[in-house]
Amino acid sequence: MRIAITGGTGFVGRNVARQLLADGHDVVLISRGVDPRGEIVGAADSSRVTVAAIGIDDEDQLARAFAG
């Protein structure tokens, strides 16, 4: 399953993403920007992680990120 997480690079979002990846899901991390601390989720298989730098008020980009 492909799952989008708003606030995906924050503390809670990163930990939720780690668990979803461990369970075999693909993850879309939605955040206003890339986490400046570097590593986003520590995923061994980063091919299943998509980072979407989107503000929560950009409906068109959010719709594209949630597609699929």
| pLDDT band, residue 10 (cuts 50/70/90) | confident
Express each pLDDT in 20-65 by its tens digit: 999 999 999 888 876 555 455 555 567 888 888 888 889 999 898 8
**In contact, 3 and 27? CB cutoff 8 Å:** yes
Query: Whole-model pTM?
Result: 0.76
3-state secondary structure of 56: coil
**In contact, 32 and 52? CB cutoff 8 Å:** no
Domains in the chain with CATH codes: 2-66 (3.40.50.720)
CA distance 34 to 40: 8
CA distance 18 to 39: 12
- Greatest CA span in the chain, whole angstroms? 31
